[in-house]
Structure 1
Amino acid sequence: MTAVNKTRLKKILNELAGRGLEQMVITDPAAIFYLTGSRIDSGERLLALYIKISGCFLMINRLFPAPADPDIHVVPYDDTQDAAKILAGLTDNTRALGVDRNMCSWVLLRLMELGAASGYVNASVCADAVRQCKDEEEAGRMRRASHLNDRAMEEAARALRAGISETELAEETARIFRRLGADGISFEPIVAFGANAAEGHHVPDGTVLRPGDCAILDIGCIKDGYCSDMTRTFFLGEVSDRLREIYALVKRANEAARSVIRPGVPMSRIDEEARRIIRAAGYGEYFNHRLGHFIGIEVHEAGDVSAANNTPAASGMTFSIEPGIYLPGIGGVRIEDLVLVTETGCETLNAFSREITVL
């Protein structure tokens, strides 16, 4: 996609209108990619998409290629120019201006100094609300990224052996993704062996895998601009009764949460469905994070599956379901899948087995 997606733009403009706004400046590169199909990393330089009813105006430094699209009015500038002043010349200073939460403070302060608008409103929710529900093209990209993740997990699991370190496996995982044709990794792989698996977001280190250890692999890639994310827990040689017990609980929690997902069901209800199973078994305090996060162009997008979020599920939403139990000094288990909400339920994007695996 290398042109303005008019359907997406119209939806965001409708969200703006619903909040009494007529204009917005988007500086989040992911949101700009969502609307224009152009992935631009401008570093410290201002990249801004100014949208209003009459169209799109993309401010871009001449160092970077601009999309060739008649529906995007490109406003180029040089390093020696005052980019914020140029942007202020585009806006309607008699109206409130929506800005996104990614806007650098130096840009916002300069716009305020120049009187670029009558007021300034955090309007990120206008783009976030639209991005939460994927269209068919996006759903296809999410499926392809998750399919690559399934294949990478299979290869990474085969690399598990006594003596391999967490760092070595993390590096091997990145190489696996490249071999499989991924565009990159969506986050640094989380690899945790033995007692380290009690840390939900352990940073891989020199710890080596030993017989009897659990091994958490939380990995993801980028394909065609969209992210995947999946976690599986493996065991080397043998598995203790305690870890076998919590594995079965986490698996049940994952299945239970996915079984209730359908349009209209609040995120908090989905979270509770998984949490009650773990809590009833006496491990509630050891499930110490939200059940999931939204995902798409970014691995963590606006929205989550937690007790604090009563937003109802809607067709097209994609988010993770990742219950876990983490026992300090012993180890942990997490089983994570991505789901796509459908008209009648949900589609699980990961096909990799959730059965207990002892290597």
Structure 2
Amino acid sequence: MDETRRAQVIENLQGMGLTQALISDPMSIYYLTGYYTEPYERFLGLYLSASGASTLFANRLFPDASAACEDIRTFDDTEDPVPMVAAVTDHGAPLGVDKKLAARWLVPLQEAGAASAFKLGSTAVDNARSVKSPEEQELMRAASRTNDKAMEWLAAQVHEGVTEQEIAGGLLDVYRSLGAQDHSFAPIVSFGANAADPHHSPDGTVLAKGDVVLFDVGCRRDMYCSDMTRSFFYGESTEHQRAVYECVRRANEAAEAIVRPGVTFAEIDRAARTIIEDAGWGQYFTHRLGHQIGLEDHEPGDVSSVHDEPVRPGQCFSIEPGIYLPGDVGVRIEDLVIVTEDGCEVLNSYPKELTVLA
């Protein structure tokens, strides 16, 4: 158990009027204990109490959890974990539960009277995870350096006759050769008009001269995620395509330029969105500017027009404006940034200048 992180979560819980919580998100459990397993349909839970008690509930099929915390309660597939959890909770106080707790466990806990009330307590952990420690920041840098190198490989795969699926299918081996363990999300490889779909899944589309080529990719290295998007053109680019590209690039750089403690997430979104709106393409920037990232590719606390909280040193999030003209062209440019004491550090060094690949 990381006692510093535990103490922060307890402080956050108390600020919400809670003295106990049940955490079921495997990544949050890893964040607090260093223990990770994917439970699938089985129960996994970490109980925290302001009194100091920490209990991990784990199926005996899971990897050894003995180092996770001081109290480990195990069960097998024929045992019901709900009575075990109810035996340690304070029935006279509300229990914070996180957003990952499935109804198949939550409802029986309610029926068992495991607490006086049940409240959504995810933000207690989410807010702690939002600010990365120096060690976490270095892991984020390492993951992004790996992603920069992978982007070099991706750009080199662009040639006549190649398909989106062929490029996407080779990326995992490249990540692993560079020291990463996995994708942080399924890679997006889009040619031509497919790039106007922000979440296009790579298919058999064959590259054609004049196509935009969009790569939105990320790796998981030592548990931490990277995420970056670059857009290129193959063979040639039209004046219209170049105008779209340069507008997105200006929006990306304008947003990064204002990131510093005290500036709100909404103001960062506005800095990028205004440039695209002023160019007449505002209705084609169809998503928020970015998302926080760390142990998961998308973490709570988005960079959007409705998030009025100021950013804090140590927070890490994406800056990814885009313009998506259906049936025509799509461009997105994305970096990750870490908020510093007086600005931000851009984690990606791969160039953003308009590039036509031969």
Shift of 1:106: 1.1
The residue number in structure 2 matching 1:79 is 77
- Mapped to 1, the partners of 2:331 and 2:177 lie a distance apart of 28
Contact kept, 8 Å, 2:46 with 2:54, in 1: the verdict is: yes
Contact kept, 8 Å, 1:156 with 1:172, in 2: the verdict is: no
Cα deviation per residue 1:5-47 (whole Å; 9 max; x = unaligned)? 1111100000011111110000000100110111111111100
- Mapped to 1, the partners of 2:70 and 2:24 lie a distance apart of 15
The residue number in structure 2 matching 1:180 is 178
Contact kept, 8 Å, 2:56 with 2:68, in 1: the verdict is: no
Out of 318, 327, 335, the residue aligned to residue 320 of structure 1 is: 318
Gap runs ≥5 in structure 1: none
Aligned length, in residue pairs: 356
1:11 paired with 2:39, answer no
Cα deviation per residue 1:145-170 (whole Å; 9 max; x = unaligned)? 00000000101110111111111111
- Give the match's secondary structure for 2:353: coil
Shift of 1:267: 0.4
Contact kept, 8 Å, 1:238 with 1:358, in 2: the verdict is: yes
The residue number in structure 2 matching 1:121 is 119
Out of 278, 281, 302, the residue aligned to residue 279 of structure 2 is: 281
- Mapped to 1, the partners of 2:122 and 2:69 lie a distance apart of 22
Gap runs ≥5 in structure 2: none
Shift of 1:70: 7.6
Contact kept, 8 Å, 1:324 with 1:332, in 2: the verdict is: yes
Summarize the alignment of residues 249-328 of structure 1 with structure 2, pairs less than 5 Å apart: 249-328=247-326
Letter in 2 for 1:84: V
1:358 paired with 2:336, answer no
Summarize the alignment of residues 84-233 of structure 1 with structure 2, pairs less than 5 Å apart: 84-233=82-231
Shift of 1:67: 3.1
The residue number in structure 1 matching 2:44 is 47
- Mapped to 2, the partners of 1:206 and 1:71 lie a distance apart of 49
How has the CA–CA distance of structure 1 residues 161 and 72 changed in structure 2, closer, same or farther, with 3 Å as cutoff?
Answer: farther
When normalised by structure 2's length, the TM-score is 0.98
How has the CA–CA distance of structure 1 residues 50 and 192 changed in structure 2, closer, same or farther, with 3 Å as cutoff?
Answer: same
- Give the match's secondary structure for 1:131: helix
Shift of 1:108: 0.7
The residue number in structure 2 matching 1:35 is 32
- Give the match's secondary structure for 1:231: strand
Shift of 1:175: 2.0
- Between 1:172-181 and 1:30-39, the stretch displaced more is 172-181
Q: What percent of counterpart residues are identical?
A: 49
RMSD, aligned CA: 0.9
Cα deviation per residue 1:83-139 (whole Å; 9 max; x = unaligned)? 111111110101110000110101111111111000000000110111111011110
Contact kept, 8 Å, 1:260 with 1:270, in 2: the verdict is: yes
Contact kept, 8 Å, 2:249 with 2:352, in 1: the verdict is: yes
Shift of 1:68: 3.5
Letter in 2 for 1:181: G
Contact kept, 8 Å, 1:55 with 1:71, in 2: the verdict is: no
Superposition misfits of 4+ residues, deviation over 4 angstroms: none
Contact kept, 8 Å, 2:33 with 2:69, in 1: the verdict is: no
Letter in 1 for 2:53: G
Cα deviation per residue 1:299-331 (whole Å; 9 max; x = unaligned)? 000010010110110001000000011111111
Shift of 1:69: 2.9
- Mapped to 1, the partners of 2:100 and 2:239 lie a distance apart of 47
- Mapped to 1, the partners of 2:165 and 2:226 lie a distance apart of 21
- Mapped to 1, the partners of 2:239 and 2:179 lie a distance apart of 39
Contact kept, 8 Å, 1:66 with 1:74, in 2: the verdict is: no
- Give the match's secondary structure for 1:304: strand
Letter in 2 for 1:24: A
Shift of 1:213: 0.6
Letter in 2 for 1:148: T
Out of 237, 240, 264, the residue aligned to residue 235 of structure 2 is: 237
Shift of 1:78: 1.2
Letter in 2 for 1:32: I
- Mapped to 1, the partners of 2:40 and 2:136 lie a distance apart of 26
Letter in 1 for 2:4: T
- Mapped to 1, the partners of 2:53 and 2:255 lie a distance apart of 42
- Give the match's secondary structure for 1:344: coil
Contact kept, 8 Å, 1:60 with 1:66, in 2: the verdict is: no
